């Protein structure tokens, strides 16, 4: 059963997602060489608290952070630590908030300084893939249309799609139906309907798609050590184009139309 949100639930989703985007913007602005990933987590915790919200990640299956901070070859679920961001790192932030009973979820990847051209392309293709996925999130389309749009965008440029982690419905719970893989066939899967709220989140590797889990039981890294990028928005399916609930007109590090 894929929840369809009522108008009042949609208003609450808008508020939660706006808050998640605001916290993301503020934490992303703190990324710079010398900062520890724990300092980013502490800042996020305070920003979430000030808005009257809670982190949906903290304590989820025992996860110890308020946000996820994944550096370079770390794909997702990097645990905030004493690790310092270095010049030339790429840093993926995954930030969620529960506000008034609803979850907003978003992720972005920021380069801390100049990076090799192919790494810059990795960030661009992952944003392009997210944009293509959102464009496919139209009522009457199917989940597989989102998956297919993401996968073809990425593979056309020689990058690879992580298989083990997927996007998801989001609302009263952080993870609702449907699962939204970043690979798959068009015209397959559940039909999209107005009122569905979806977290679309391509996780894209510069090398092969294979990943492994570190011994901390959370941090997912690329098997070949290549860099990985992650962008995520929570969107509302409507009768027309999806509404990007975690979009802020002033969101840095990402351009809506390029």
Would you give the binding string for ligand MF3 spanning residues 197-236, x where CB under 6 A is met? --x-------------------------------------
Quick one: which of 105, 128, 176, 243 contacts ligand MF3 (CB under 6 A)?
Answer: 105
Residues pairing with 109 in the sheet: 92
Q: Which residues bind Co ion (CB under 5 A)?
A: 105, 199
| Helix H or strand E encompassing 44 | helix 37-50
63 binds, among Co ion, ligand MF3, none (CB under 5 to 8 A by kind): ligand MF3
96 binds, among Co ion, ligand MF3, none (CB under 5 to 8 A by kind): ligand MF3
To ligand MF3, the closest distance from the beta carbon of 117 in angstroms equals 29
| DSSP-derived 3-state class of residue 43 | helix
Largest Cα span, the chain:
48
To ligand MF3, the closest distance from the beta carbon of 252 in angstroms equals 20
Q: Could you list the beta-strand ranges (E) of 35-151.
A: 68-71, 74-76, 89-99, 102-112
Q: Which of 159, 196, 27, 50 is nearest to 106 (CA)?
A: 27
Contacts of 156 (CB under 8 A, 6+ apart): none
Q: Which residues bind ligand MF3 (CB under 6 A)?
A: 57, 60, 63, 68, 77, 94, 96, 105, 168, 199
């Amino acid at each position: 059963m894929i929840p369809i949100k009522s108008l009042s639930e949609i208003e609450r989703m808008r508020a939660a997602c706006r808050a998640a985007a605001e916290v993301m913007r503020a934490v992303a602005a703190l990324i710079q060489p010398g900062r520890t990933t724990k300092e980013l987590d502490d800042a996020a915790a305070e920003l979430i608290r000030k808005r009257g919200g809670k982190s949906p990640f903290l304590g989820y299956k025992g996860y110890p952070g308020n946000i996820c901070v994944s550096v370079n070859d770390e794909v997702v679920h990097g645990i905030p630590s004493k690790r310092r961001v270095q010049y030339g790192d790429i840093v993926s932030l995954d930030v969620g908030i529960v506000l008034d009973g609803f979850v907003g979820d978003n992720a972005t990847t920021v380069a801390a300084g100049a990076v090799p051209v192919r790494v810059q392309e990795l960030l661009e293709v992952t944003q392009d893939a997210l944009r293509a996925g959102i464009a496919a999130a139209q009522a009457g389309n199917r989940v597989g249309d989102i998956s297919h749009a993401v996968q073809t965008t990425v593979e056309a440029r020689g990058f690879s799609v992580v298989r083990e982690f997927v996007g998801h419905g989001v609302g009263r719970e952080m993870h609702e139906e449907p699962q939204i893989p970043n690979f798959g066939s068009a015209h397959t899967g559940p039909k999209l309907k107005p009122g569905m709220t979806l977290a679309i989140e391509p996780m894209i590797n510069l090398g092969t798609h294979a990943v492994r889990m570190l011994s901390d039981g959370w941090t997912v890294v690329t098997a070949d050590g290549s860099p990985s990028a992650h962008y995520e928005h929570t969107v509302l399916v409507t009768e027309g184009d999806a509404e990007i609930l975690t979009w802020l007109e002033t969101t840095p590090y990402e351009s809506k139309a390029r």
